Structure 1
């Protein structure tokens, strides 16, 4: 299966209103949590002085409609707490969570149930399948809870079972399936509800590497086909770079950087991020936009043309085999040129030169 790269996926409209906007979000665990909001103490100082832990500290970001937005960080960074706050599985201490302009924090119990049933669905690391129900009934379960009629919910369940590649397994039970197949069932169950936003909380971390890679490709394929907004939580940088249109990096509950994969690798916000991406081959992430240079007055400009968002690794053959500088074109506009010198400098530099 050919999996589209981040640069090849459908572009989201950066000028459109975000589907999700998080403003000044805090989640504090401990006594008198509200009094801690706004504190500038370190995590250790806060714990010693107040007995509280600020798992999420003043985090703000926006998610564009139709993008894959990855939240990543090491264990204890606050990423899983953050995603659970978005649907109030964990109650935030302060801040706003705006879904299409409506504040999730002000929703009453009934509205919150509707949001979880219709608008936001979550795929967990532990699949949460009902062992006594077959695949078809597991996938249809959410629709059953919503009161959807039997014929309609099974028709929809069969549609998404086909979409995630489980045709022929409708009557199988969870214990008859591999881990990867069970995760496909969980994904199908979330898709069946046709939510506006899909939330993934480290869904593949318990899978074997080969199955994990297969499921990552499946998420990319599904996003390419159905265009859902996806928020994906992971501690794996390679996974984040592979899946994310944009990546939010957290440390000790705080936002460190938000950017596209090439921005995170090419322009890390601080030493923490720089260390994080130090082992990533830059040629696998950075695009021609990062290495192109202005054309010189006497340079021939009739060489081959490539787009600015072509990943360097994918441009190596074209550039090294070209007899003239490769033009980097945005439509009819010449942005710059790339030659073998620029390509070889990146390759020779290896990860984070």
Structure 2
């Protein structure tokens, strides 16, 4: 298992932030979660007030999944959506533009001929698609670690950002994530499977059966996080786990998005337990497995808008809240200064 030198957020800065927050021109604790976030950012940046969150970057990890048959959309949509991202017309690119965030797409395992795609998108590609986890491993031996290292490299390339957001694109990814969460936390399939792209009825039952079969097939192999990724994950979720760990190594705050990044975070926590100190949950998705993952991580979502798009779109919506948290500690007056 790799070992990582992860810095600890600055406790003295957090204490100084809390002292300033308590002295602002307002009743004690009157700004609720904003005060908590302001203190968290101060600890992450090691200074009060924390630095402005001007440079926000989203990295969308794209890949196909062998269980995509359970989705309401065909597998080919993944490749088509990568082109939409590159054209700036996807949900997350439109929403990111509203908060001045930049979006990068990383093709980790899209099942297509990428000869017509810019090299920057495919520079970290591991494979084309993943195995159908109910009947076979998702990855070949060594690919989970290779993908994890690719994610680390991507985070290192973005190490001068003020805030990072991991996004995702891959038809079938909620099925894979449900299996990963179920195996990690020892939960039954029926409790973690959600509607994903909108399946219901018999299709939802089939999705649940796939997750149950996958978890049973991988029984006994889930203690080691890289074995868990090999059996039940995908190259793109392994890369996201590496991205989360390396962001923590670099001391960069991260806003998790929906179930995909939350499932990756569960595995990343097992690989590098100290990394979770650098993560916040941007929003609560409608996928039940995300709620289990966030509870295990000890994270409370900033927003709850009923979103289930993925891509990083929910976390992007939390950026203005983080900026508001910074503004109160940076710009509000002090009770001690009142005439």
Q: TM-score range by the shorter chain?
A: under 0.3
Higher strand share: 1
Higher helix share: 2
**TM-score when scaled to structure 2?**
0.27
**TM-score when scaled to structure 1?**
0.26
Higher RCO, Cα 8 Å, sep 6+: 2
